[in-house]
Amino acid sequence: MTAEQEINAAHVPAFDSLKLENLAFAYGEKPVLKDISMTMTTGKVYALAGESGQGKTTLAQLLLGRLRADKGAIYLGEQEISGVSQLSLNEQVLYVSGQSTLLNQSIYENLCMACDWSKEDILVWADQHGVLQFVKNLPDGLDTIVGDDGAFLSPGQRQQVICARAVLAKRSLYIFDEVTSSVDQDNEGLIYDLINLVAKDAIVIIITHKMKQVEQADDILFLSAEGAVTGNHATLYQTSLAYGQLVDQQRELEEAVYG
């Protein structure tokens, strides 16, 4: 989108539905996405899963407005995404990943990038929802300096702060991309508490290679060489050979490692 097009583009208000309509995208002559259709609504967690190289990252880039579909459309509520300004899109869609960063400031200052709450407000909110409880055990609490990109925190604590900041930002659509890839099981559960919290008031998409997390999603968009399929875990396990094989492979691996 040119500077002039950006100025003239539409503003998208908060929305509670996301519709993918016959989406297709190719890199040159190489098709990556073909005929992707799905409707998502506020209040649910959707998993975007699949084999490596089947278009998960590409679809995320389309939803963020960084790529444009070759065919089909994406509707944010009633507004088609191609006519929305990037600035407006950034105000409604938030991408969070394992590579999201923290400033070398306090936990509080990092959280306040997303809101203007007082320390007391944040502590009350954290207690109400059972999140960020590790902060209570820190000598300086919310005033704790996190270090360069959170170096003074554990990987799990770092991701908790990043995901809590995302929740406080209050967007219409969240894309959480491999946010638990480097954390232990305890912190993984705490991070998913935050994801489930934000899903009460937003559309949430998780991108993960961990099929146990995929299984718990309300609905799944699974991408494979066979094509795109949608449904919950029980349905896809019975109807998609590629999905069933991926689930079984991970279960066998976990049994071999953990017994």
User: 48, 23, 47: which is closest to 37 by C-alpha?
Assistant: 23
Please state, rounded to an integer, the average pLDDT across all residues of the chain: 93
- Which residues sit opposite 45 in a β-bridge? 204
Contact, 81 vs 74, CB < 8 A?
A: yes
Phi and psi, residue 164, nearest 5°: -65, -40
Cβ atoms of 77 and 13 within 8 Å: the answer is yes
pLDDT in tens, 140-193: 999 999 999 999 999 999 999 999 999 999 999 999 999 998 899 899 999 999
Instruction: Find the mean pLDDT for residues 72-95.
Output: 95
Can you say whether the dihedral through the CA atoms of 15, 18, 21, 24 is positive or negative? positive
User: What are the pLDDT digits (tens) for 101-130?
Assistant: 999 999 999 999 999 999 999 999 999 999
Q: How many CB atoms lie within 10 A of CB 137?
A: 7
Q: How many Å apart are CA 237 and CA 247, to the nearest integer?
A: 8
To 10 degrees, what angle do helices 155-169 and 185-198 make? 0
pTM, full prediction:
0.92
Please report, rounded to a whole number, the percentage of residues in the chain having pLDDT higher than 70.
95
What domains are defined for the chain? 3-258 (3.40.50.300)
Alpha-carbon dihedral angle through residues 204, 208, 212, 216, given to the nearest 10 degrees: 10
Buried b (16+ CB within 10 A) or exposed e, 227-246: ebbbbebeebbeebebbeeb
Among candidate residues 158, 150, 146, 159, the one with its CA nearest the CA of residue 191? 159
pLDDT at 7: 47
- The whole-number pLDDT of residue 254 equals 75
Q: Is the pLDDT of residue 15 over 70?
A: yes
Which pLDDT tens digit goes with each residue over 89-104?
A: 999 999 999 899 999 9
